[in-house]
Amino acid sequence: GAGVSQSPRYKVAKRGQDVALRCDPISGHVSLFWYQQALGQGPEFLTYFQNEAQLDKSGLPSDRFFAERPEGSVSTLKIQRTQQEDSAVYLCASSPSRPGSGNTIYFGEGSWLTVV
Amino acid sequence: GNSVTQMEGPVTLSEEAFLTINCTYTATGYPSLFWYVQYPGEGLQLLLKATKADDKGSNKGFEATYRKETTSFHLEKGSVQVSDSAVYFCALSEEDDKIIFGKGTRLHILP
């Protein structure tokens, strides 16, 4: 596709429910990032993939959060046993190359998660 | 650790006014600096960037200069338009491409 595509755009989950958020990066992009953006805050880094390898997951807030990119393209962020504090916009971003200072990173429109 | 601090909003200006949004950073190395913009209902978009000291990034009439001596990357525009109303994020990244964002500054431009 022309840009980074995320689905669902909006998700309401009951507390304790599991959710899965999908990201389709720009075709051929090597690097893929997930960010969490709480209301009124800047995005915060969750995890990073280079192709299918998850090279950095230091930002995942708890072991209820899990991300995968099994074939090096589409990625899924899974949140188990959702809690109210998980309510946020989850942003996916991709970059055409391996990390190097100043690479342009392209963001999707985000998946808005509300936990009730 | 690395961090970005930007002025809190909201900032409200009249059309054609001069805009400055301050941004300072803390970094262990030599980061690249960015301004991202988020228009209502849209995703984050890169507005401009600078990759080394004294570089000036510019786009759509916006400018920011990478000042290593003051660790700053202030965003400026000489004459704002209503269509510039958005949330602006200052950000940095080092060689791992992990972007660290400021908290964002909401800008309202009145006609």
**What distance separates the 2 farthest-apart alpha carbons in chain A?**
40
Report the chain B residue with the minimal C-alpha distance to residue A96.
B97
pLDDT at A105 over 90: no
A99:B49 CB<8 A: no
CA–CA distance, B31 with B21 (Å, rounded to integer): 20
- Burial of B24 per CB tally in 10 Å (0-12, 13-18, 19+): middle
**Per-residue pLDDT for chain B (111 aa), expressed as one digit of tens each?**
889 999 988 999 999 999 999 999 999 888 999 999 999 888 899 999 999 999 999 999 999 999 999 999 999 999 999 999 999 999 998 876 788 999 999 999 999
Q: Of B15, B7, B24, B104, nearest to B68 (Cα)? A: B24
By CB atoms closer than 10 A (0-12, 13-18, 19+), residue B58 is middle
B51 touches chain A (CB under 8 A): yes
Assigned token pair, B20:
């400055």
The DSSP-derived string for A47-87 is EEEETTEEEE-TT--STTEEEE-TTSS-EEEEESS--GGG-
Q: Maximum distance among all alpha carbons in chain B?
A: 42
Which among A80, A60, A67, A85 has a CA at the least distance from the CA of A23?
A67
- Whether residue A70 lies within 8 A of chain B, CB to CB, comes out as no
Contacts of B95 in chain A (CB under 8 A): 99-101
pLDDT, mean over chain A: 93
pLDDT of residue A9: 95
Q: How far apart are CA A28 and CA A80, in angstroms?
A: 29
